[in-house]
């Protein structure tokens, strides 16, 4: 559970909103709904926020205009960062970032603010499943942020990823990914105030969309008057109809395929996923279904190996961050300027 206390930012009208969770858990559905709310703008998934955070020492002291321009050009001239999703002409975007307050949070916040302005809105947000594993970066750059973690039945999430041939259809790495995503949220739950972190279930979003979205809007302090527009996302959204991953976003919300995994996963695979999920399975209200099935010895070994590999990567990242605290002491938190941008 999160702390019962409120953060110093409670009640502020323009807090940034972030959505994350394990991949294939409904983050894009929720983002598309929220982007259709008249008070909040959230672009399609970009690739520059975390990438900038990881490389921040390369851009030096952002108090120097040349370094702000270097960072701005890195974001808006690389196809890999998907700058077109912000919807602003590159040179104008670069000039805007150069004029932003000299912190990495301020420059990145300005990117999303420009998208909001294109939509005629004042408040911005961003969505990417991986954000749940980088809450340290999110709250370092945006201390007033609000985060929505969306959780899906791990068996359904794994089946969905396998349907798209992630990891060659192997359930072990995707089961570990679900576990790792929820463990990351657990690590921050008690550190955040109740107005900073909200957790919702995908199954509730698709079976009781109005009720669940009302809860989300209340947490984010978005007007309930915009919920009807958010729920009509399928009538006017920015996801291409040809999208392999998100074609269902052109249809009304439905829970019809929530238990499709029962026909797609073997008993051994279900047992392995439930073993990886552990107590979190029942914590989120998902009933065990493996019955007497058990994972194979090879599955257990593969999961242990995957956990060890990811733990080593996490340790290296922690060591790098610790080093940066001593070698790169530039401020990172977003600042307000003239009430316009962070």
pLDDT single digits (tens) 197-224: 999 999 999 999 999 999 999 999 999 9
- Which is nearest to 76 in space by CA: 96, 62, 59? 96
Which pLDDT does position 156 carry in this prediction?
Answer: 96
Which pLDDT does position 340 carry in this prediction?
Answer: 41
Q: What's the pLDDT band for 342 if we cut at 50, 70, 90?
A: very low
Q: Is the pLDDT of residue 339 over 90?
A: no
Three-class secondary structure of residue 324 per DSSP: helix
The beta strand positions in the chain, using DSSP E, are 17-20, 125-127, 146-151, 197-201
* Mean pLDDT score of the chain: 92
Rounded mean pLDDT, 54-58: 95
Q: Is the pLDDT of residue 79 over 70?
A: yes
Pairing of strands 146-151, 197-201: parallel
Output the CA angle 91-94-99, nearest 5 degrees: 130
| CB-CB contact of 188 with 135 (8 Å) | yes
- Which residue bears the tokens 């941008």? 341
Q: Classify residue 86 as exposed, middle or buried by CB count within 10 Å of its CB (0-12, 13-18, 19+).
A: buried
Q: Concatenated DSSP letters for 92-117?
A: HHHHHHHTS-SSHHHHHHHHHHHHHH
């Amino acid at each position: 559970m999160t702390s019962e206390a409120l953060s110093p930012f409670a009640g502020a009208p323009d807090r940034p909103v972030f959505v994350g969770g394990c991949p294939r858990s409904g983050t894009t559905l929720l983002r598309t709904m929220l982007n259709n709310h008249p008070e909040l703008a959230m672009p399609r998934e970009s690739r520059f926020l975390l990438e900038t955070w990881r490389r921040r020492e390369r851009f030096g002291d952002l108090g120097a205009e040349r370094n702000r321009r270097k960072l701005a050009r890195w974001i808006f001239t690389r196809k890999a960062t998907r700058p077109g999703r912000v919807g602003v002409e590159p040179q104008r975007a670069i000039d805007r970032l150069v004029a932003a307050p000299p912190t990495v949070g301020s420059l990145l916040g300005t990117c999303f603010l420009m998208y909001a302005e294109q939509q005629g809105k004042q408040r911005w947000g961003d969505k990417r499943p991986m954000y749940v594993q980088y809450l340290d970066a999110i709250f370092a750059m945006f201390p007033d942020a609000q985060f929505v973690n969306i959780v899906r039945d791990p068996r359904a999430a794994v089946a969905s990823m396998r349907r798209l041939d992630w990891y060659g259809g192997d359930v072990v790495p995707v089961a570990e990914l679900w576990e790792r995503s929820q463990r990351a949220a657990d690590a921050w739950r008690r550190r955040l105030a109740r107005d900073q972190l909200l957790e919702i279930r995908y199954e509730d979003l698709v079976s009781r969309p109005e009720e669940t979205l009302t809860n989300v809007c209340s947490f984010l302090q978005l007007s309930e008057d915009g919920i009807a527009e958010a729920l009509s996302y399928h009538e006017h959204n920015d996801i291409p109809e040809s999208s392999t991953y998100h074609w269902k976003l052109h249809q009304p919300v439905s829970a019809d395929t929530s238990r499709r995994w029962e026909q797609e996963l073997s008993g051994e695979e279900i047992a392995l996923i439930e073993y990886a999920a552990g107590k979190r399975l029942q914590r989120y209200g998902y009933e065990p279904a493996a019955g007497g099935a058990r994972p194979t010895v090879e599955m257990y070994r593969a999961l242990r190996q995957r956990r060890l590999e990811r733990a080593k990567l996490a340790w290296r990242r922690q060591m790098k961050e610790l080093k940066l605290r001593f070698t790169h002491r530039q401020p990172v938190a977003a600042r307000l300027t003239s009430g316009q941008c962070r």
